[in-house]
């Protein structure tokens, strides 16, 4: 036993670190775990709610009868109501898998599954990079991956899809790279994990399948038709539950939750929505904006590892140009370069400002999670740069210094830096619990609360209507239910002038008025 550990010291150390970082990544999960569970974003709230509901009832929707009168406006963000049936507006893979596991192990496990996947994912990343390069590069890349800010941050914010998607993708690639004599299990297993990855984020299928196509081209002589069939079979087996529930919820096997709001008319007309059209057109094509976003969220925000990684990229490019790379390294270089360009152009072409401070470049912005694969697979390039300067004693000192800088900056940007740091998110969650408790005490169990951003705080204990886009037309719908249902307007941060504008100039048009209840809460009543 001791001899086995001694012979595999690096792997054992990674297992130990995986156990430690599972708890590190679970920091927010422990903070949110105390009832009532509150999370920091509407997407997380919706994913948690429906995963929990699937575990408890086997359903991924619920019926809100008031919406038949209120024109389907009663629902929080990240959800949509279709003729009274409230459904998630997200991809279903996470909800189905986490809900299934919660059915077996208990609802408590839901918040801890992404941190667990992240820790396991590093181990498979080690195995994959070891096959592509060598053990030292794989080992140091994996050590750095534990501290990688985007992985750490979005593992902690555990109800986002992105980490699970990347982990399953890494496992799929690892299985393909593994020298397994049972080709049936190898290709079937790889296909299953690719299917799981796509079920988490089906919108990524174009660049993912392009990457696999390039990989298969490099190894076309070794891949028999029957192996490819096993791979496709595994992929569809894993995707089958998602296709089934897509049809149940959205009226088409190839519809997605993210298009639910735009699909209502199509569903009612009996038309299928084109997933390819959605994927290829949603963000447009704006190269200048893409370059700007890429600079801000790759080089400016994470300069401490992207700059050395860029140098490593040119080292690898030079070797490829001089035909000094092994086939597996050529495949890595080609796939990484082409898929990264796709992601930069695709997501970078859209102006996303979903962080707290619109003008700031922060780790919480969606670009960071959308480009997670770019960051992760840049780490071997960073290590290549370190390896290049290892040759001298001074070089080793420099590499150690740069690694220390990387770790310190990672800890700072994830835990302490800005309003979206993990510690501030924890602070927000604790405040949400207090806000929720206060409002629940002042409102009836069957009441409906209109709010701009507080829907994530009040749901599911209260029915909510999102007022983010100042859609005053909703008050016409509210007037239809106000006789039978208590309705409130809540905005703790609104100023006196704003509330007077709403009271005196807007909702008056619908025969309604606001009556203060205190603490930013107003009851909506008839004039």
pLDDT of 322 reads: 87
pLDDT of 3 reads: 54
- The rounded distance, in Å, linking the Cα atoms of 90 and 375 is 24
pLDDT at residue 41 tops 70? yes
Local confidence band at 271 (pLDDT 50, 70, 90 cut-offs): very low
pLDDT at residue 358 tops 90? no
Q: Decide: helix, strand or coil at residue 473.
A: coil
pLDDT of 256 reads: 79
pLDDT, tens digit (0-9, with 9 covering 90-100), for 226-242: 999 999 999 999 999 99
- The rounded distance, in Å, linking the Cα atoms of 437 and 521 is 13
Q: Decide: helix, strand or coil at residue 398.
A: helix
| Measured CA angle at 485 (ends 482, 489), to 5 deg | 70
Pairing of strands 448-451, 487-490: parallel
User: Average pLDDT, stretch 12-22?
Assistant: 96
pLDDT of 5 reads: 60
pLDDT of 4 reads: 56
Q: Within 71-223, where are the H helices?
A: 93-105, 113-132, 135-146, 149-156, 162-177, 183-200, 205-218
pTM over 0.85, yes/no:
yes
User: Average pLDDT, stretch 445-453?
Assistant: 92
pLDDT of 276 reads: 53
Residue carrying the six token digits 């496992």: 171
- The rounded distance, in Å, linking the Cα atoms of 423 and 419 is 9
User: Average pLDDT, stretch 424-430?
Assistant: 93
- Between 33-37, 54-58, 170-174, 415-419, the lowest mean confidence (pLDDT) is in 33-37
Instruction: List Cβ neighbours of 153 (8 Å cut-off, separation of 6 or more).
Output: 363, 364, 368, 414, 422
pLDDT of 167 reads: 98
Burial of 58 (0-12, 13-18, 19+ CB in 10 A): exposed
Burial of 478 (0-12, 13-18, 19+ CB in 10 A): buried
Q: Are 507 and 524 in contact (CB under 8 A)?
A: yes
The more confidently predicted of residues 1 and 271 is 1
Within 10 angstroms of residue 207's Cβ, the number of other Cβ atoms is 19
DSSP annotation of 273: P
Q: Within 390-495, where are the H helices?
A: 393-411, 422-442, 455-458, 474-478
Write out the two tokens for 505. Answer: 């100039």
Q: What percent of the chain has pLDDT over 90?
A: 68
Local confidence band at 277 (pLDDT 50, 70, 90 cut-offs): low
pLDDT of 264 reads: 45
pLDDT of 270 reads: 43
Local confidence band at 397 (pLDDT 50, 70, 90 cut-offs): confident
SS3 content of the chain, % helix, strand, coil (to 5): 65, 5, 25
Instruction: List Cβ neighbours of 448 (8 Å cut-off, separation of 6 or more).
Output: 66, 74, 462, 463, 464, 465, 478, 481, 485, 486, 487, 488
- Between 18-32, 206-220, 320-334, 379-393, the lowest mean confidence (pLDDT) is in 379-393
Residue carrying the six token digits 């629902």: 75
């Amino acid at each position: 036993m001791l001899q086995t550990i001694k012979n595999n010291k690096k792997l054992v150390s990674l297992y130990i670190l995986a156990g430690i970082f599972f708890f590190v990544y679970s920091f927010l999960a422990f903070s949110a775990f105390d009832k009532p569970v509150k999370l920091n974003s509407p997407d997380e709230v919706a994913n948690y709610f429906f995963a929990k509901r699937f575990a408890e009832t086997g359903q991924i929707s619920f019926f809100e009868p008031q919406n038949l009168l209120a024109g389907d406006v009663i629902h929080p963000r990240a959800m949509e109501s279709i003729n009274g049936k409230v459904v998630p507006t997200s991809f279903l893979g996470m909800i189905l898998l986490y809900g299934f596991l919660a059915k077996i192990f208990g609802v408590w496990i839901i918040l801890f599954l992404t941190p667990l996947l992240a820790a396991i994912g590093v181990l498979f990343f080690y195995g994959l990079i070891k096959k592509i390069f060598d053990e030292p590069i794989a080992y140091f890349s994996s050590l750095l991956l534990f501290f990688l800010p985007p992985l750490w941050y979005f593992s902690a914010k555990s109800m986002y899809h992105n980490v699970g998607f990347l982990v399953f993708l890494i496992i799929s690639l690892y299985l393909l790279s593994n020298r397994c004599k049972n080709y049936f299990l190898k290709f079937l297993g790889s296909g299953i994990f690719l299917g799981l990855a796509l079920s988490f984020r089906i919108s990524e299928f174009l660049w993912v399948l392009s990457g696999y196509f390039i990989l298969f081209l490099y190894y076309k002589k070794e891949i028999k038709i029957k192996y490819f069939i096993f791979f496709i079979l595994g992929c569809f087996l894993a995707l089958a539950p998602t296709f089934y529930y897509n049809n149940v919820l959205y009226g088409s096997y190839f519809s997605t939750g993210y298009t639910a709001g735009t699909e209502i008319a199509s569903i009612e007309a009996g038309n299928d929505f084109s997933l390819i059209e959605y994927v290829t057109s949603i963000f447009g094509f704006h190269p200048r904006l893409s370059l700007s976003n890429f600079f801000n969220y790759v080089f400016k925000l994470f300069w401490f590892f992207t700059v050395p990684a860029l140098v490593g990229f040119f080292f690898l490019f030079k070797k490829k140009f001089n035909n000094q790379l092994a086939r597996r390294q050529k495949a890595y270089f080609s796939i990484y370069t082409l898929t990264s360009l796709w992601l930069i152009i695709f997501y970078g072409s859209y102006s996303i400002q979903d962080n707290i401070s619109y003008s700031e470049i922060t780790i919480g912005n969606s670009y960071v999670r959308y480009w997670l694969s770019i960051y992760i697979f840049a780490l071997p390039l960073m290590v290549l740069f370190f390896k290049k300067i290892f040759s001298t004693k001074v070089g080793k000192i420099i590499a150690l210094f740069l690694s220390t800088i990387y770790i310190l900056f990672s800890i700072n940007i994830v835990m302490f830096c800005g309003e979206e740091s993990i510690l501030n998110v924890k602070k927000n969650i604790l405040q949400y619990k207090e806000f929720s408790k206060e409002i629940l005490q002042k409102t009836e169990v069957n009441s409906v609360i209109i709010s701009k951003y507080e829907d994530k705080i009040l749901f599911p204990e209260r029915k909510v209507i999102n007022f983010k886009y100042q859609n005053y037309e909703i008050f016409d719908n509210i007037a239809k239910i106000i006789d039978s249902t208590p309705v409130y307007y809540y905005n703790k941060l609104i100023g006196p002038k704003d509330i007077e504008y709403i009271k005196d100039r807007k909702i008056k048009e619908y025969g309604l008025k606001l009556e203060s209840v205190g603490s930013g809460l107003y009851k909506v009543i008839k004039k």
